[in-house]
């Protein structure tokens, strides 16, 4: 079975999702344990795969036994193994969280929710593991369709409208990606990533390949909500159920960023985007605008989830900014930020979800008593917040450090300044919340001011929040080790 | 002239794609946006299928005992890829229509202007 | 949202045509590997036969023959056939979806085992696509009401 680990990562959640539909008609109580079991097997397989990659190099797994380029193959190298482990672990933790929160929001339909959840995770893991660009399109659409459905079932009245806008924009993005695949196919005749990276350098001067690159970039930018194509994200992620917001915020955008790194640095060699079609500068300016815009708008929000959605736009900007520097330090910072941001966003969204579960109100203005009634949740939120700002020893500091170093090394002082300014802006955002929660005196007409009883979220929701918060701290302390074992080899060897 | 007439399939697909994109972005009615999305995706399918066609080619199935000459057969791979794309198109359309029904039940209208 | 069509001609013709549509759909699924056709196309035609009956007759009439529970189960069964065949190949020792090893349990040669494996997954795809088409039509035609509180 260890030999088949790459395929088990995807097949087990897929099978579990469908078995869940059939079994759930009769035995509804089985659906949650089945989901947890499937995600655990998937997480274990991705750990095994990453270990094998660290020990003995890239894994190539041929589907159906056909040799590439005639068959589809699954390729796990350092970067894919790394992202697969992140996605499967974070989904497992969020799956534990969904039990309580979904039981309250959709009392009779938990079976279908778990099935769509598993399909979403299948799609995400499929994008990461596969080595064939059309297969990436198929899994991308599986992911998107599952997330359209999950976003639409939010408790607010406007959730279906937000999901509808998401459908329109997401479809445009996926279709642009498909067009890019088509243009590459018409010029090279192959769909395999390794084959393309071998065949394309001879064709770089052709305008078809350059337009294909443009289509890829715009399509993926639509999917990861890179400014100025971010309009769908705040509505969709605010109005979705809290577990769903946490899952899509911490995984979908990161997998999209992984896809962008794959296209720019593996399918097209780095030489293409730096010298043949010098777009890295433009990508850098767009990402810097995303960072400033996201942080700026986050300051203006009064509702926690919407604020976090704008912070997410800024985080995506960080990752793409690191990619645009095109040097080793910048890419290290980018890939490390994929890991850190998954954990930070999951921690923050899960904490806000716990607050919403208990108090039904996520306005910042009404948070003044929370540190007495939900101290652990607020502590986790604070840890996530200072990680977003970038204060050591939390994880966010280390990835921002590498990003700033990468900016200085590439000679782009403006981007280093942008990174520091955005740290200040996110500091304003989070310290304002901390001040509101911890230091604002209770309203005089409130009654029980000093002896508020602790009324935490249920244990099934509290443990994932704590795991994520502790994870943020541990990842910060171990980031050097992570870089030397995995990320150092994940960065393309050209740099 | 050869540039326009010789590559007419690309001109068709670009024309259809732009119509679809315009409908998706500029129309205010939700169903019209969905129709635009459908036209957009169909245009991409048209592009892929036209990629695999050849003049005077036959279907890529080997009859028993015949010599195989790859130049005679048209390319089956874009057709197979587009099968998957059509499935995706139908599924997305189904999900979007279900969302439209849900929106209609909550807002009693399908025009975007009246929904704010 | 859909009212029963009271036209005698529509009802009789659709009642006459439905078995032929079903037969043609099975024909299309079975010939997928050799001529235009395949799982998705056949599945769509299968679904179309049900939808034709639903448009010509009452939806409740057809729902007595194909219940929603059966529909939901069929959605899963089809993909389980597909993934299950792949899983059997995994358990027999080869890579996923490598139908050649099916020759160990079926009394045919390797090439024929590959053909039969492909045929098996086409059947799975056809079943699922039919169930999904019927399900989409049921949900849209009834305005979303047929699901609420029924499949519990």
pLDDT band at A308 (very low <50, low <70, confident <90, very high): very high
Distance CA A311, CA A219 (A): 22
pLDDT band at A444 (very low <50, low <70, confident <90, very high): low
Work out the average pLDDT over A228-238. 91
Instruction: Examine the pLDDT at B36 and tell me if it is beyond 90.
Output: yes
pLDDT value for C32: 79
Tell me the pLDDT tens digit for each residue of A126-185. Answer: 999 999 999 999 999 999 999 999 999 888 888 999 999 999 999 999 999 999 999 999
Residue to test with chain A: of C73, C97, C100, most A Cβ within 10 A: C97
* C38·B83 Cβ contact <8 A: yes
Question: Is B39 in CB contact (< 8 Å) with chain A?
Answer: no
pLDDT band at A295 (very low <50, low <70, confident <90, very high): very high
CB pairs under 8 A between A and B: 65
* A11·C83 Cβ contact <8 A: yes
CB atoms within 10 A of CB A217: 22
Please, which residues 5-64 of chain C have a Cβ atom closer than 8 Å to chain A? none
Distance CA B115, CA C20 (A): 46
Residue to test with chain B: of A153, A171, A186, most B Cβ within 10 A: A171
Q: Which of C35, C36, C136 sits opposite B94 (nearest CB)?
A: C136
Work out the average pLDDT over A264-274. 87
Distance CA A119, CA A126 (A): 10
* C72·A21 Cβ contact <8 A: yes
Q: CB-side exposure of A423: number of CA atoms within 13 Å?
A: 19
What are all long-range contacts of C68-73, with beta carbons under 8 Å and residues at least 24 apart? C68/C138, C68/C146, C68/C147, C68/C150, C68/C151, C69/A25, C69/C151, C71/C131, C71/C134, C71/C135, C71/C138, C72/A21, C72/A22, C72/A25, C72/C131, C72/C135, C72/C151, C73/A21, C73/A22, C73/A25
CA distance C47 to chain B (A): 13
Question: Is B86 in CB contact (< 8 Å) with chain C?
Answer: yes
**Rounded alpha-carbon distances, angstroms, from residue C63 to A419, B11, C57, C137:** 60, 46, 11, 12
Distance CA B57, CA B72 (A): 5
* A73-76/A59-62 β-pairing: antiparallel
Whichever domain contains B89, its CATH number is 1.10.287.3510
Question: Is B106 in CB contact (< 8 Å) with chain C?
Answer: no
Work out the average pLDDT over A232-255. 92
pLDDT value for A458: 85
Work out the average pLDDT over A21-28. 87
Percent of chain A with pLDDT over 70: 97
pLDDT band at A405 (very low <50, low <70, confident <90, very high): very high
pLDDT value for A310: 94
Instruction: Examine the pLDDT at C38 and tell me if it is beyond 90.
Output: no
Cis status of the peptide bond prior to A228, with omega within 30 of 0: yes
The rounded mean pLDDT for chain B is 88
Parse chain A into domains and list their residue ranges.
Answer: 312-495
- Supply the range of the domain harboring residue B35: 2-53+75-115
- The pTM (predicted TM-score) of the whole model is 0.93
pLDDT band at C2 (very low <50, low <70, confident <90, very high): low
Question: Is C140 in CB contact (< 8 Å) with chain B?
Answer: yes
CB distance A320 to A335 below 8 Å: no
Question: Is C104 in CB contact (< 8 Å) with chain A?
Answer: no
* A172·B21 Cβ contact <8 A: yes
Tell me the pLDDT tens digit for each residue of A122-142. Answer: 999 999 999 999 999 999 999
Question: Is B74 in CB contact (< 8 Å) with chain A?
Answer: no
List the structure tokens of A333. Answer: 């910072």
Instruction: Examine the pLDDT at A406 and tell me if it is beyond 80.
Output: yes
Instruction: Examine the pLDDT at A85 and tell me if it is beyond 50.
Output: yes
The rounded mean pLDDT for chain A is 89
Q: Which of A164, A175, A182 sits opposite B41 (nearest CB)?
A: A175
Tell me the pLDDT tens digit for each residue of B57-100. Answer: 887 777 777 777 777 888 888 988 999 999 999 999 999 999 99
Which chain C residues have a beta carbon less than 8 Å from that of A7? 90, 95-96
List the structure tokens of B22. Answer: 């315009």
pLDDT value for C148: 44
CB distance C117 to B79 below 8 Å: no
Q: Count of domains in chain B?
A: 1
**Rounded alpha-carbon distances, angstroms, from residue A465 to A343, A382, A455, B13:** 10, 12, 16, 49
CA distance C33 to chain A (A): 17
CA distance B102 to chain A (A): 7
């Amino acid at each position: 079975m260890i030999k088949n680990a790459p395929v088990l990562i995807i097949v087990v959640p897929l099978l579990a999702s469908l078995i869940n539909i059939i079994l759930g008609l009769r035995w509804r109580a089985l659906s949650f344990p089945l989901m947890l079991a499937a995600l655990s097997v998937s997480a274990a397989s991705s750990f095994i795969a990453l270990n094998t990659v660290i020990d003995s190099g890239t894994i190539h797994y041929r589907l159906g036994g056909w040799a590439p380029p005639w068959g589809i193959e699954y390729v796990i190298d350092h970067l894919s193994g790394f992202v697969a482990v992140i996605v499967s672990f974070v989904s497992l933790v969020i799956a534990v969280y969904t039990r309580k929160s979904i039981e309250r929001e959709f009392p009779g339909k938990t079976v279908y929710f778990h099935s769509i959840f598993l399909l979403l995770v299948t799609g995400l893991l499929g994008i990461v593991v596969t080595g064939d660009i059309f297969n990436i399109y198929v899994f991308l659409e599986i992911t998107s369709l599952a997330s359209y459905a999950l976003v639409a079932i939010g408790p607010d009245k406007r959730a279906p409208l937000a999901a509808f806008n998401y459908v329109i924009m997401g479809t445009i993005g996926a279709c642009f990606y498909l067009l890019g695949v088509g243009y590459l196919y018409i010029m090279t005749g192959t769909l395999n990533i390794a084959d393309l990276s071998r065949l394309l350098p001879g064709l770089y001067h052709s305008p078809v390949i350059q337009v294909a690159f443009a289509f890829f970039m715009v399509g993926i930018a639509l999917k990861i909500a890179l400014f100025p194509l971010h309009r769908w994200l705040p509505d969709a992620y605010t109005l979705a159920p809290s577990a769903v917001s946490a899952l899509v915020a911490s995984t979908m955008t990161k997998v999209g960023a992984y896809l962008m790194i794959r296209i720019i640095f593996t399918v097209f060699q780095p030489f293409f985007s730096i010298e043949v079609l010098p777009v890295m500068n433009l990508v850098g300016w767009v990402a810097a605008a995303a960072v400033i815009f996201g942080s700026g708008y986050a300051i203006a929000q009064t509702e926690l989830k919407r604020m976090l959605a704008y912070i997410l736009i800024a985080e995506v900007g960080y990752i793409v900014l690191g990619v645009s520097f095109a040097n080793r330090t910048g890419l290290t910072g980018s890939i490390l930020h994929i890991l850190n941001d998954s954990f930070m966003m999951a921690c923050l969204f899960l904490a806000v979800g716990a607050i919403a579960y208990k108090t039904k109100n996520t306005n910042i203005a009404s948070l003044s008593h929370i540190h007495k009634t939900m101290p652990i949740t607020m502590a986790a939120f604070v840890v996530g917040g200072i990680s977003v700002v970038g204060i050591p020893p939390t994880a966010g500091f280390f990835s921002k450090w590498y990003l700033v170093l990468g900016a200085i090394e590439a000679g782009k002082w403006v981007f280093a300044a942008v990174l520091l300014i955005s740290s200040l802006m996110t500091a304003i955002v989070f310290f304002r919340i901390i001040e509101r929660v911890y230091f604002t005196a209770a309203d005089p007409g409130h009654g029980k001011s000093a002896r508020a009883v602790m009324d935490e979220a249920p244990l099934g929701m509290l443990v994932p929040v704590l795991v994520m918060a502790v994870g943020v701290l541990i990842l910060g302390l171990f980031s050097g080790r992570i870089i030397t074992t995995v990320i150092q080899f994940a960065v393309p060897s050209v740099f | 002239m050869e540039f326009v007439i010789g590559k007419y399939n690309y001109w068709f697909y670009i024309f259809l794609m732009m119509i679809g994109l315009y409908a998706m972005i500029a129309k205010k009615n939700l169903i019209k946006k969905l129709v635009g999305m459908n036209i957009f995706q169909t245009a991409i399918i048209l592009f892929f299928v036209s990629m695999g066609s050849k003049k005077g080619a036959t279907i890529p199935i080997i009859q028993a005992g015949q010599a195989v000459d790859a130049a005679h057969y048209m390319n089956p791979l874009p057709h197979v890829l587009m099968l998957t794309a059509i499935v995706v198109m139908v599924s997305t359309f189904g999900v979007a229509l279900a969302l439209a029904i849900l929106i209609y039940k909550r807002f009693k209208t399908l025009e975007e202007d009246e929904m704010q | 949202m859909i009212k029963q069509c009271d036209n005698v001609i529509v009802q009789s013709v659709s009642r006459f045509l439905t078995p032929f549509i079903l037969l043609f759909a099975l024909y299309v699924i079975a010939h997928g590997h050799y001529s235009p056709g395949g799982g998705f196309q056949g599945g769509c035609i299968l679904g179309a036969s049900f939808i034709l009956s639903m448009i010509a007759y009452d939806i409740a009439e057809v729902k007595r023959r194909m219940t929603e529970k059966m529909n939901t189960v069929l959605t899963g069964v089809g993909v389980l056939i597909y993934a299950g065949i792949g899983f059997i190949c995994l358990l027999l020792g080869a890579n996923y979806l490598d139908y050649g090893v099916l020759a160990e349990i079926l009394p045919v040669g390797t090439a024929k085992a590959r053909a039969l494996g492909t045929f098996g997954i086409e059947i799975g795809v056809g079943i699922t696509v039919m169930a999904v088409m019927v399900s989409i039509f049921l949900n849209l035609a009834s305005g979303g009401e047929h699901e609420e509180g029924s499949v519990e």
